[in-house]
Structure 1
Amino acid sequence: MACPKLFLSCLLLQLVFLFLVPEVAQGQGLKVGFYQKACPNAEAIVKEVIGQVMSVAPSLSGPLLRLHFHDCFVRGCEGSVLLNSPTHQAEKDALPNLSLRGFETIDRVKTALEKACPGIVSCADILALVARDVVVATGGLTYDVETGRRDGNVSSLDEADQNLVPPTANITTLKAGFARRGLSVKDLVVLSGGHTIGTSHCSSFTYRLYNFAGNGNADPTLDSNYIARLKLKCKQNDQTTLVEMDPGSVRTFDVKYFNLILKRRGLFNSDSALLDDSQTKAYLELQVKTGGSTFFKDFGVSMVKMGRIGVLTGTAGEVRKVCSKIN
């Protein structure tokens, strides 16, 4: 199902598919230190490259973190979001993925690893390791990443359209989408905290400013002052302007974005929806009150859990020599 130009109509179709095809977190065959013998410096190489990239292009931190999310939520964490298609029918060509960036950085990491250990480290594992390293580079806590994933050889635009949870999602849709991947309500709110770094195109949320219910009005759940600020940056049909998801703290991994949500300044409907569930709202309030007393550790735990979704291990799949194409 390719996304038609009518954005909201397409999103409605996506919501239907969220409830189809159960897909739970797995992770058999993964372990911390999987490359200890075959490529002992693998994680150090990834960290070094990411450190170099962050020193000159810190704005890539959010996009690089998003790559791992968008990969895992379609077919599982098997690197299919990185594949190119000569006919533009791969996951990266789907409407929700058109704003993804950082592919060149993943290629740079892969090149360094292939030079050190040819054919050993998968692109799927690179995505997981890079995600951890950008969290640390922006001020988050480190966590042990399980490795041992292998790369898939299928990448479908239709599947990306069907399976990625849209920013328009309400709390019911969010909980269902995460649950069918084996992720809890706590994982939902914790992983939403990843919006503390990065930016978004205006097109992902302008309907909340100009035509929320199809009547030409703004979303009444949004803070009016926040609406006014966003309208200054985003005109009604703006498809290109980037807006910080966590204004003033966009390059720092912290809990300030949770504070914004509590002030009714969550950029996406999927962020504001966290106020509509007692468990997710209570988590936001606790982290803001305590300065993120458990969030930083919780984020690592939930990322590891997400990284187990639908993995290929053992002899399944392959280890790509180039992340953008199958061997």
Structure 2
Amino acid sequence: MATSACKSKTMLLMVFVAAALVMSTPSLAQSPLQYNFYGSSCPQAEATVRSVTEGIIKNDTTMGAALMRLFFHDCFVRGCDASILLDPTANNTQVEKKAIALRGYDAVNKIKAAVEAVCPGVVSCADILAFAARDTAVVSGGFTTFYMPSGRRDGVVSRLFDVLQNIPSPILKLPDLINNFAAKGLTVDDLVTLSGAHSFGQAHCSVFNGRLYPTVDPTMNATFADALKTVCPAPGTSGADPVVSNNRVTDPNVLSNQYYSNLVAGKVLFVSDQQLMNSTYTAAKVANNSGDAATWMGQFAAALVKMGSIQVLTGTAGQVRKYCNVVNS
């Protein structure tokens, strides 16, 4: 009986994912990306990324959120071109990774090295980020695996200023969040759906301390706020900036629709999270996602694929880097 129920749940999720992908992504005739792009040039590419990604997350469950966040940051800054991965150089000291402290760079380098071992010079770092984000949803969220189009090439430009201009701030109000996503070709529905990634991962107290001090934000659950204040000191009282889990209600390393239940209960960290309750439309989407995990998972998969097509470099544009942290010489 248990096995039958599990199979039924899996089949239902596959139907939702397939339907969401059909409804939410452009046809391949319109997209510069392709499914199974490496089918001939490197047939082991996606399996290699999946295997290494699984091992990384199983060894350290916090790495799932780190890899997902890298993909988001990469796509929102200059498009999905792996520019987030580039190290500073003598000629360019102010690269994207200088703007915000992110984790996962070593993990991406490990995945890239494994892919290079089977197919040297073929698979871009931009595609590796996309595949790793998809595989993170599978490993950390229990998603049925889904197609991630590929064929991205790597950019050669990385500028700190571009991060400041493009990454949505955690203190943005709802109209600004909507405009930020719209500038990337993403809808209000995509905003609500992708915000579910805040069901896992971590944040520094300084990012949301304004909701705790000098007075607690009235939209935040009082008990939740009191617990946060035991970890996060008031600004100016300590040089420390502790890290807390985005999800302090259930497992903080699982990608799930728990985020929406937390949001309804006032148990989320960021101003930008709570803003989703500030319109009838987005609040209704939050409520629906809270009560229907399978539908949200299908929508999240589709939105992730859609996000992965932002301003991509294809064809002869850009390059395929040998090492993800430096451009080819």
TM-score (norm. length: structure 2)? 0.86
Instruction: Give the corresponding residue for 1:223.
Output: 221
- Identity among equivalent positions (%) equals 40
Instruction: Give the corresponding residue for 1:75.
Output: 78
- The aligned amino acid for 1:120 is V
Distance 1:37 1:235 in 2: 55
Distance 2:83 2:281 in 1: 33
Instruction: Give the corresponding residue for 1:110.
Output: 112
Distance 1:217 1:241 in 2: 19
SS at match of 1:243: strand
Residue 30 of structure 1 pairs with residue 33 of structure 2? yes
The alpha-carbon deviation at position 32 of structure 1 amounts to: 0.9
- The aligned amino acid for 1:81 is I
Query: Structure 2 matches for 1:42-191, cutoff 5 A?
Result: 42-86=45-89, 88-94=93-99, 97-98=100-101, 100-141=102-143, 142-191=145-194
The alpha-carbon deviation at position 273 of structure 1 amounts to: 0.5
Residue 235 of structure 1 pairs with residue 233 of structure 2? yes
Query: Structure 2 matches for 1:151-300, cutoff 5 A?
Result: 151-210=154-213, 216-237=214-235, 239-247=240-248, 248-290=250-292, 292-300=293-301
- The aligned amino acid for 1:260 is N
Segments of structure 2 that go 5 or more residues without pairing to the other structure are: 1-25
Instruction: Give the corresponding residue for 2:21.
Output: none
SS at match of 1:187: helix
Segments of structure 1 that go 5 or more residues without pairing to the other structure are: 1-24, 211-215
The alpha-carbon deviation at position 202 of structure 1 amounts to: 1.0
SS at match of 1:200: strand
- The aligned amino acid for 1:85 is P
Instruction: Give the corresponding residue for 2:14.
Output: none
- The aligned amino acid for 1:192 is S
TM-score (norm. length: structure 1)? 0.87
Q: Is the Cα–Cα contact under 8 Å of residues 232 and 241 in structure 2 kept in the other structure?
A: no
Q: Is the Cα–Cα contact under 8 Å of residues 185 and 279 in structure 1 kept in the other structure?
A: no
The alpha-carbon deviation at position 286 of structure 1 amounts to: 1.2
SS at match of 1:44: helix
- The aligned amino acid for 2:310 is I
Q: 1:217 to 1:240 in 2, by over 3 A?
A: closer
Distance 1:132 1:240 in 2: 31
The alpha-carbon deviation at position 194 of structure 1 amounts to: 0.7
173-182 vs 219-228, which moves further:
219-228
The alpha-carbon deviation at position 284 of structure 1 amounts to: 1.2
The alpha-carbon deviation at position 203 of structure 1 amounts to: 1.4
The alpha-carbon deviation at position 239 of structure 1 amounts to: 5.0
- The aligned amino acid for 1:197 is F
Question: What is the total number of aligned residue pairs between the two structures?
Answer: 294
